[in-house]
């Protein structure tokens, strides 16, 4: 590498983690993967946890690999990860058990049970975040309802990336973009929503100070350095700690006519706006507002993404049939188009389950043929995701008044050529895919701004534009996609209406 200095970007996903060496030579970043490791929830009995001590050991191993490759310490380290999950610390800063995984079943039905205390619309007005069972607010509320002793003994709550920063430098802070995922942070007032905490019966004293992206937390602790091979310190920097915010920060040329799409286990699609959109249209459309790396707001919709197919792959492998992603993408391209659709936003697709069976059940309810081969399953998932993206793009135009001409795709989904082309065809908009490692790049860019090596985010994005060459997908001109989108809306609309009736009957 010809870089003059390096930043370490730790990028933690729900299915894998990476420790990246992000070199900066004054004009562009150079990425080198130091260490990659698998990540997943660990089930014990009926509960699903994160093994944060193993993740910590993997981060240390990545830093040891950095030390082996360099004579100097890095210019900084930043950590980004998924949102909503947290760890609790006691009065001596010890972990109070393993943090729960957001897919744990303890939050089932919590929003409905707490609706008398604070309804979904009131929560949206207070925080800008759409109600989902997985949100931090309902995870904590489930602990309060169960009179969990860990919550009673807690002295501090740290979100997952903030926990590892604490391990590194000893500072207990929560970063802005992560705080915004909790449904306990008032985005408009830029402070914790004590009113929401009170309504949900949560202890407000456990929530630390919120810091903005680019805040230098302090040097790596002296008692940590020997284990990593460092003799001197280097700064721990609060980047845009929510991985989506880091990924969006790295997208070049993201203007008012461009929507972002972070494509991976989850699909997150939206626009960068100046202030949270708390309109009834945004609430009814299922949109959420979360923090952006530059202090602005991401108006977006969270959708289950490639997790559906990942779970199918896990089931096939358990049955003795192992498929690589490239095999499924290729098989999807030769499968019969427009055969079956599913509603990827349906609650049943958000938790670990037999996804192939759930797909078959939804197809049966809507009178569609079952996808019977891996290629047909993949095609069903890809086309359904593409139509879901079309719905979101159209809704974003309606509630913001903007015209969306381009969709910028980042994350692992960039590599899925079939899904990218289907997205362009279904949305009738140009799709530009890349960069794949957007979260790590955005992470490093915020570090470079914090340390003065970049003058600001605008200079960082300009640098990204100089060397990132996105792959362009243009929509085909056939009316077939529009006709099938109309059929999808009718079919899925009936499924959603039936689900709403069922929910009313239960309540």
Neighbouring residues of 260: CB distance < 8 A, sequence distance ≥ 6? 247, 248, 251, 254, 268, 269, 270, 271, 272, 298, 300, 407, 408, 410
Q: Has 256 been annotated as catalytic?
A: no
Q: How many Cα atoms are found within 13 Å in the side-chain-facing hemisphere of 376? A: 13
For residues 437 and 17, the answer to whether their CB atoms sit within 8 Å is no
Distance of alpha carbon 108 from alpha carbon 143, whole angstroms: 12
- Active-site entry in 80, 243, 343, 425: 243
Per the listing, tokens 């939050």 go with 107
Distance of alpha carbon 111 from alpha carbon 400, whole angstroms: 28
- Within 243-306, where are the H helices? 243-249, 280-284
CA torsion, ordered 30, 33, 34, 36, to nearest 10 deg = 160
3-class SS of residue 319: coil
* Dihedral sign, Cα of residue 335, residue 337, residue 341, residue 345: positive
3-class SS of residue 378: helix
Report the candidate in 189, 214, 177 with the shortest Cα–Cα distance to residue 290: 177
DSSP code at position 97: S
Which residues belong to the active site?
Answer: 243
């Amino acid at each position: 590498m010809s870089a003059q200095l390096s930043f370490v970007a730790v990028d933690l996903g729900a299915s894998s983690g990476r420790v990246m060496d992000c070199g900066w030579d004054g004009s562009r970043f150079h990425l080198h993967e130091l260490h990659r490791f698998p990540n997943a929830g660990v089930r014990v009995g009926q509960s699903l946890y994160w093994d944060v001590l193993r993740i910590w050991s993997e981060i240390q191993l990545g830093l040891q690999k950095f030390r082996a490759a360099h004579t100097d310490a890095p210019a900084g380290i930043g950590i980004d990860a998924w949102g909503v999950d947290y760890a609790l610390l006691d009065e001596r800063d010890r972990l109070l058990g393993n943090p729960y995984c957001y897919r744990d079943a303890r939050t089932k039905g919590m929003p409905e049970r707490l609706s008398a205390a604070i309804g979904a619309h009131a929560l949206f007005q207070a925080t800008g975040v759409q109600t989902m069972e997985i949100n931090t607010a309902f995870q904590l509320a489930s602990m309060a309802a169960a009179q969990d002793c860990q919550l009673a003994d807690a002295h501090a709550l740290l979100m997952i990336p903030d926990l590892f920063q604490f391990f590194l430098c000893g500072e207990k802070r929560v970063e802005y973009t992560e705080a915004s995922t909790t449904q306990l942070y008032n985005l408009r007032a830029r402070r914790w929503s004590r009113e929401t905490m009170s309504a949900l019966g949560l202890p407000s004293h456990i929530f630390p100070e919120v810091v903005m992206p680019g805040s230098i937390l302090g040097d790596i602790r002296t008692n940590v350095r020997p284990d990593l091979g460092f003799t001197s310190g280097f700064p721990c920097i609060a980047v845009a700690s929510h991985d989506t915010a880091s990924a969006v920060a790295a997208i070049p040329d993201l203007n008012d006519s461009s929507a972002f799409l972070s494509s991976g286990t989850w699909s997150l699609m939206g626009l960068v706006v100046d202030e949270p959109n708390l309109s009834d249209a945004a609430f009814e459309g299922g949109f959420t507002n979360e923090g952006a790396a530059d202090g602005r707001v991401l108006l977006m919709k969270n959708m289950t993404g490639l997790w559906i197919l990942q779970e199918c792959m896990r089931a096939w492998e358990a049955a003795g049939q192992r498929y690589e992603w490239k095999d499924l993408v290729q098989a999807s391209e030769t499968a019969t188009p427009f055969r079956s659709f599913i509603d990827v936003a349906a609650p049943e697709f958000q938790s670990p389950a037999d996804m192939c069976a759930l797909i078959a059940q939804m197809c049966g309810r809507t009178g569609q043929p079952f996808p019977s081969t891996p290629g047909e399953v993949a095609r069903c998932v890809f086309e359904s995701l593409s139509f879901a993206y079309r719905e979101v793009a159209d809704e974003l135009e309606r509630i913001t008044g903007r015209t969306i001409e381009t969709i910028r795709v980042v994350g692992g989904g960039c590599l899925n050529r079939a899904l990218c082309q289907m997205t362009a065809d279904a949305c009738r908009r140009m799709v530009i895919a890349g960069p794949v490692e957007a979260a790590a790049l955005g992470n490093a860019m915020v570090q470079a701004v914090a340390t003065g090596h970049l003058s600001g985010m605008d200079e960082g994005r300009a640098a990204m534009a100089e060397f990132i060459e996105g792959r362009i997908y243009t929509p085909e001109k056939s009316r077939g996609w529009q006709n099938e989108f109309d059929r999808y809306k009718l079919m899925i609309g009936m499924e959603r209406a039936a689900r709403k009736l069922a929910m009313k009957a239960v309540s």
